[in-house]
Amino acid sequence: MEMLFRYNWQVRQEWFDWCESLSQQELLQQRTGGVGSILYTLYHIIDVEYSWINDLRDQNSLLTDFADYQTVERLRALSSQLHVEVGAYVKAWTPEQETKILHNVRKDGSTEQLTYGEVMRHVIAHEIHHVGQLSVWAREVGREPVSANLIRRGLQR
């Protein structure tokens, strides 16, 4: 489980680096598909990961607003700040938590039962999916995207 999170965190840092060569206008430009702009996608990834992990930890999430994080520098800092809690939770994960039940309140007020195991994998897949979208937009602006390979990253331990 942890390896896929570490993959996402490493790839995310590389996308932050990648973003530094783009103008603010390119980073915030509304694009087709996904959640809109490149920077908003990265914000959304950070926000969704943190929110789900806090649901699993039974903690309230610090409320953030994208308006406060519209530069690569601020987003990177937000990611690092929230990673203290997220990283600790993922590191402490044990297989016994797999089948634990989360009573999740949906936007319409209804409640659903999810297993902790599926929520963790949902978070993993969520980030990889949105990064796939970034890779298309990268080509649209004429740049080579960050590699999506999981192998050859020293993640094998």
Residues that bind a copy of itself (CB under 8 A): 3-4, 7, 31-34, 112, 114-115, 117-119, 121-122, 124-126, 128-133, 135-140, 145, 148-152, 155-156
Cα–Cα distance, 100 to 30 (Å, whole number): 39
Q: Is 130 annotated as a binding residue?
A: yes
Of 7 and 89, which has the nearer Cβ to a copy of itself? 7
Of 69 and 137, which has the nearer Cβ to a copy of itself? 137
Q: Is 83 annotated as a binding residue?
A: no
Residue that is written with structure tokens 């949906």 in the block? 106
Minimum CB–partner distance for residue 27 and a copy of itself (Å): 17
Q: Is 44 annotated as a binding residue?
A: yes
Of 77 and 136, which has the nearer Cβ to a copy of itself? 136
Minimum CB–partner distance for residue 77 and a copy of itself (Å): 25
Q: Write b or e for each residue in 116-140: b if 16 or more Cβ atoms lie within 10 A of its Cβ, otherwise e.
A: beebbeebbebbeebbebbeebbee
- Residue 39: exposed, middle, or buried by beta-carbon count in 10 A (0-12, 13-18, 19+)? buried
Minimum CB–partner distance for residue 71 and a copy of itself (Å): 24
Q: Could you tell me which residues are beta bridge partners of residue 104?
A: 112
Q: Taking the chain, what is the end-to-end CA distance rounded to the nearest angstrom?
A: 12
Of 23 and 149, which has the nearer Cβ to a copy of itself? 149
Minimum CB–partner distance for residue 10 and a copy of itself (Å): 12
> Given the DSSP bridges, would you call strands 101-105 and 111-115 parallel, antiparallel or unpaired?
antiparallel
